[in-house]
């Protein structure tokens, strides 16, 4: 989480039942990030052990997935999961180390939910500022990153949002699926 995107893919964890009983169950509210808060609780409740050299194939580009749902209730639940997870992290970690991380994750979600849910994005951006993080470069490819550097992340995200609404995202996903189907190392 410190070095890159805040996603914690659940396939990378082998979780003993006793740890789940100690940390508590998954949040029932559907959210694009419903596992975020759960995995922070698991990590805080565990004696974290990292293994290297493993390979995880992650399926992306599923248009009907929960993480692609952008309606208001899912966005509110995502913000609540992020806040609950980061509050727990800040309460149970070295604050000097955890605050910049929490701020970066708040800002990442402020950017993700912008411009569809501006009020939620503003709340997350304010939480990032409270953690000392005030800037964010829009994610995405080289072009979006350059626009973000030149014009700010909000304009970059608005442009991306409108381009995707014109159908770019579905064409990009089709191209990605086609490339994966031709990859001899990729599982079917």
Q: What pLDDT does residue 141 have?
A: 77
With a cut of 50, list the residues of the chain below it in pLDDT: none
Q: pLDDT tens-digit profile of 121-148? A: 999 999 999 999 887 765 677 888 888 8
Do the beta carbons of residue 177 and residue 61 sit within 8 Å? yes
Whole-model pTM: value is 0.73
Residue 171: the pLDDT is 65
Exposed, middle or buried: residue 131 (CB in 10 Å: 0-12, 13-18, 19+)?
Answer: buried
Q: What is the DSSP string of 90-127?
A: HHSS-HHHHHHHHHHHHHHHHHHHTTTTHHHHHHHHHH
Task: Show Cβ contacts of residue 32 under 8 Å, excluding neighbours closer than 6 positions.
Answer: 66, 67, 68, 69, 70, 74, 75, 77, 78
Instruction: Write down the pLDDT at residue 179.
Output: 59
d(CA 165, CA 154): 16
């Amino acid at each position: 989480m410190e070095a890159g995107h805040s996603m914690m893919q659940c396939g990378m964890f082998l979780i003993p039942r006793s740890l789940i009983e100690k940390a508590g169950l998954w949040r029932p509210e559907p959210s694009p990030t419903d596992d975020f808060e759960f995995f922070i609780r698991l990590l805080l409740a565990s004696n974290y052990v990292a293994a290297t050299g493993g390979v995880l194939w992650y399926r992306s580009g599923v248009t009907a997935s929960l993480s692609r749902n952008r309606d208001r209730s899912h966005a509110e639940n995502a913000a609540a999961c992020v806040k609950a997870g980061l509050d727990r992290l800040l309460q149970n970690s070295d604050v000097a180390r955890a605050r910049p991380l929490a701020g970066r994750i708040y800002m990442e979600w402020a950017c993700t939910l912008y411009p569809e849910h501006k009020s939620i994005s503003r709340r997350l951006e304010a939480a990032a500022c409270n953690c000392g993080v005030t800037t964010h470069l829009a994610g995405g490819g080289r072009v979006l990153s350059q626009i973000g550097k030149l014009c700010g992340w909000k304009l970059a995200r608005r442009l991306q949002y409108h381009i995707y609404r014109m159908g770019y995202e579905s064409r990009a996903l089709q191209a990605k699926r086609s490339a994966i189907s031709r990859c001899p190392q990729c599982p079917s």
